[in-house]
Structure 1
């Protein structure tokens, strides 16, 4: 009888203890949510009263999101052709480059921005290879009319009509054989090929003939003459640009 009474008291005590724990937990949660809600209200009022804090918080959140995104995205290969832009802001071109870009854009009906990137690249490669930028552009004009997806009868592709298999090693440095359709890659490999031909020959005309032969255009009559004629036209474009610039400078000086 006594044992049964003690057991009943123990069960009753445990029930009371559990009820007290439950009520205490609920009370703590209630106060916690109230404090959290009050904090949210205070922060909202603070941001509303001080827009500069809101802007700073937004920048901090955006920065954190960008870091998280960077951490989850695989870092691209630097030499991959797909990671490079193939357009150029015309404001970043020199006066000569801009004049050539606009002239070629009108003649070949090509958008100026991507064409500007090719013109700027021709200038850059010309400085490094000691080749005239206008010669590089003239080859592009004759070979593909500035179509980066052009395909020749002998399998040559791109702006400067390079052979993919023949230049597989060079293309591998830029992401593989498909990078031949990337305009910048195609021009760089084409210029390197022309440099090699110039070193093997005695005259520029002979090197150009070999270049046309490798691209499948040697059978066409007057290939070399067409390239050199295009180069001369581009020379005249920059000459007119320089003359106009000098005239404008003289007029400003008189005023």
Structure 2
């Protein structure tokens, strides 16, 4: 009789445990399905918004937001749309552009999302952009600054024309950003001010406790704004950047690495 009772208790225990495990498994399955449905919906919205924004880039509300004048009042749609547009541009331009950003940002211990945000503010991803002051390429670097950085970081100097090469421009730009980060003790605000206004002007401003020009303030707000939103997207798994990338991934993409002979000459 005792043996039967023991057997019955074991059976009930196993049955209860089995049902408990089944309930746990069902719970996990439901959670996974809900996550997949939510992620699919977000990704679909992600690309739909990017397409919508592309057709309305000349909209005055977007221009005002992009200039940094009304960031606090920007709608949720506009906030996400810039990040979505950036991602779609990176995908459309060529995976090699994203590869270069990932590789060189990691090389110089920078966040890829920060580098992307600077490129967006500086050139809107136009590798042939030239400013009124002579800054060149994706990250809008002055040739004199680029030459100094190339010597400091032992990077082969390819001249002004080399800065029109997206990969080379990103290499020099990331090295320069690393240089400024060290110079201003990892202070992002001062680093961005220096990138836009120059390190000498920024150091004088800090010493005299003065404010930077309104254009520099707007630039810093714009970069930080884009950077924070790209980071939010990254945390939602919409932008899953690998932690490292091999040089082979860069060489593999020949369409991005324009030959120097085809670039504008000095």
TM-score, normalised via structure 1 length: 0.49
| More contact order relative to length (CA 8 Å, sep ≥ 6) | 2
TM-score, normalised via structure 2 length: 0.47
